[in-house]
Each structure stands twice: as C-alpha cells, then as structure tokens.
Amino acid sequence: MSAFDLGTNSCTCSGNVSNSSKGVKEECLIAFKVYDFFRLQECLTAEDLGFARALETSVLGNTAYEAGDIIAPPEDANSVTIEDLDIQSVNILSKKKNTFRNGYYDVTLQFVFVYTLTFSEAGGCPIGSIVATNTFTTKLTLFGSIDTDVNLSTDLFGGSGCGNSVTLDANPFIWVESKAIALAADFVYPCQCPADGDASPTAVRVTIGLFAIIKLFRIVNLLVESKGFCIPEEISDISSIDPCEFFDNLDFPMDSFAPPQKPEFVAGISSNIPATKPSNDNDSCGCKCGCGCG
C-alpha cells in the first residue's frame, strides 16, 4: 500500500455518511499506519556499552574530565552506584532499503544513556558523583512496503504563510518507544591482580536493561467508522482523600516482620523480597581477586 491509495476504494473527505440509526458515520482520516514493528529487550553490559564516560567537562576528586573521557574511580572509592538513569535520545543513524528483500528497510538506531555515578568509601559515605554516559547501537530490518512516487506536502510543521509548507519523506517513518532500567555498576580492575587483591580500579562498567518498541509507519488515508468526537468526562474531585483512611486500607507488610523461610522463598510465595543470584569471585580471564578484567 502506498502513502495514498488512488484506487476505487480510496475515500473522499467531502462529508460524513450516516451508516445506521445509531449515529455511526464513515469518516476519512489521515493516519499513521504501522506496517511492521519489533520488540526489543536487551540486558546491556560493558561488552555492549563499553566503560562509563564523562558526559561533559567535570571534576571528580583530583581528576578533571573532558566530555567522552573514561571515568576512573577515586583512589579511596570502595563502591559505586548508578542513579537517575535516562535515555537522553534515540538517534536514527540510517534507514535504507534492504538489498535482498523488496519492501523491507534496514534501520540503525543509537540509544544514548545518561546517568549519575556516585562513589562511596568503605564506610558507605559518598565521596563524589559524576554524570556519565554510554551509547548502544543496534540494527534491525522491518517491512515498510513498496516505494511510492507520491509527494507529501503540508504546512502543519512549517507554520502558515507563503513558502512555509514542508515536503515529507515518501519512505516509511520510524517511531521508537523506549525505557531503560539501571541494573548494576561495579569497578573494572587490571587483569594482572596482585596476590592480596589490592589493585586500584581503572574504570566503571554498568549494566542497563533496555526495553524498546520500534515501528515503521506511513502516512495514509483510512476510511473508518466513527461515532463522532470524543468529549472528556468531567474531572472528579480527589482532593478530599483522608490520609489515615488511605493508610488503614493498606495490606499489613507481614514480610517486613516475618521474613519467609526457605520453602516459602523458593516457592515464590513472598512477593516482597527479590530473588538473589550467587556471585562468582573468579573472572573468565583467570583473575583470582574478584576483579573485572580491564
């Protein structure tokens, strides 16, 4: 289907035709029709993201950083946490026709993550923070239908007046919805670790969970059945809620006072305590001091 179907079934927007006694009408709408979509769920590690880098010019401890520099933990740092994670932008690096499959497009996307690293000493007291960033690039192929030679022009995005119309791309457009979750942050150590394990960390690696839905859509004319305009309901007053009444209706947090025993925990009866995963003190590179390979 092209951007505008010029066949005998295309709708004309000259008026509304009543379809039944219930007020259902046929109406012509300009719509964003989705031709294909892909659901992405990725656990991103240092292999996907690289090491944490400074977002902008900043100072951490006695070290000054320029934008893009790899962040080295302060000498007295014992732990690091990742906070305030956000997807700053999703950059569409390319959108090209697939060489081997007609109607398909190869899309390259870059997700830009921004977050704060907070370093703490052995006693748990924070000693410094820095805003960091990483990027993740992925490629996928989606169906966008065949080419069209119809030009799309509108003044919707260019304002009013002479010469302010905008000509839109005749190829399908990309729509990305995404959400990121901060999972972990830890230090990176040299691979050659001293026997006593007191090597200084050289960088920070983070683990980020990424959910995304990527859609390929075109602007088309659709003939739909409609019951007219939707009128919002009047907002109800919720300002008079009594805080004690709200509290009295909460379930008592029994797990806080009586942690589940092993049979209940394994069976998943308690939903308030997250599952744990045993850690491995040895890295794949052979380090014996519990460090990550640089």
Q: Per-residue pLDDT tens for 142-198?
A: 999 987 777 778 887 765 666 677 777 778 999 999 999 999 999 998 875 555 556
Is the pLDDT at 111 greater than 50? The verdict is: yes
For 226-243, the pLDDT digits (tens) are: 988 888 877 766 666 777
d(C-alpha 54, C-alpha 65), whole Å: 7
User: Which pLDDT does position 59 carry in this prediction?
Assistant: 93
- Residue that wins the pLDDT comparison between 148 and 2: 148
Mean of all residue pLDDT scores within the chain: 81
The residue ranges of every structural domain in the chain are 32-158+166-226
Dihedral (Cα; 250, 251, 256, 259), 10-degree rounding: -170
What is the rounded CA–CA span in Å between residue 275 and residue 89? 32
Residue 191 to residue 214: CA distance in whole angstroms: 39
Question: How much is the pLDDT for 200?
Answer: 84
Q: Could you give the strand order of the β-sheet that contains 203-226, starting from the edge strand earlier in sequence?
A: 17-18, 25-44, 203-226, 173-188
User: If we measure between CA atoms, which residue out of 81, 278, 283 comes closest to residue 184?
Assistant: 81
| Tens of pLDDT, residues 28-47 | 999 999 999 999 999 999 99
Rounded to 5°, angle at Cα 48 from 45 and 51: 70
pLDDT (mean) for 106-111: 97
Sign of the four-CA dihedral 99, 3, 211, 52: positive
